[in-house]
A = this chain, B = another copy of it.
Amino acid sequence: MVGIVGAGNVGQALAWRLHALGFSVALLKRPYQVLEAPFAVASSWEGFPWPALETVFLCVRDVQLPTVAAQISPRLTSKVPVFHTAGSVELAVLEPFFGSQAGVVYPLQSFSVGRPVDWGQFFVFWEGTSAAQTWAETLTQDASKVRFADSKTRLRLHVGAVFTANFVNALFHMAETILPAPFSREVYLPLTKEVLSKLRVLSPEKAQTGPARRGDQETLAKHLALLQEVAPPLAPLYQHLSQYIQSYMAQSSVQ
């Protein structure tokens, strides 16, 4: 039986995935969480089938990992691999408790409860016990999407994920702030989709377009003037990001 501690976005996604793959799953949620599932769900520490667990995934908040690890280690037999799933937490946090059975399984994806994701389309990174690699391959069902990443590399991957997920989302918030009714972010989705398509085959330097890349000072000035009028907090961000583009284009070999 696979135990999953924590029923947030990642915990629920793992539970559904492993259940769909035919594993027997037990998920530990908080007492107030409402959750209907075809697998075992416990709401209390005591109600969780610790002795039956052959693998444990810890899907709790980063700061809780040491506490949770300390609490569960006496309840498990010494041969049970225990993984965390966090981008920015070192493997070393688990090693004092689980020794060579400690591992990390880090899926580089944005999970939201209720939204199925396409396992096998994104990468899953592992570290520590080789069981972590095995589980990453089980989850993806595609070994080509599984990579080893040490804790420092995983931290870098996670920072990059913040740029390409949370900050991309924030840019849509900014764009929507500027837009007059009746227009909405819908007008931008095909544009960003095309940017992603280009990035499949071109470097960001080669794929870049727009006034900052062209050095079109007149348009940059018009844009800044508009922002200062309709959304002043966006003006320094516009300037900061445009300067970033101009500085990397200046250093680039791309014309």
Contact = CB atoms under 8 A, between A and B. Distances in A.
A175 B169 contact: no
A163 B158 contact: no
A19 B205 CA distance: 31
Interface string A182-215: 0101111111111110111001110111111110
Interface in A95-146: 108-110, 112, 115, 117-118, 121-123
B157 A183 contact: yes
A51 to B, nearest CB: 33
Interface residues of A, number: 88
A153 interface: yes
Contacts of A216: 61-63
Given A208-B169, A245-B170, A164 B180 contact: no
Chain A interface helix/strand/loop/mixed = helix
Interface stretch (A28-36, A77-85, A226-234): A226-234
Given A108-B191, A165-B194, 18 more contacts: A62-B218, A155-B223, A157-B179, A159-B226, A162-B212, A162-B223, A163-B171, A163-B174, A165-B192, A165-B195, A166-B213, A166-B245, A167-B241, A169-B204, A176-B204, A185-B199, A196-B196, A240-B240
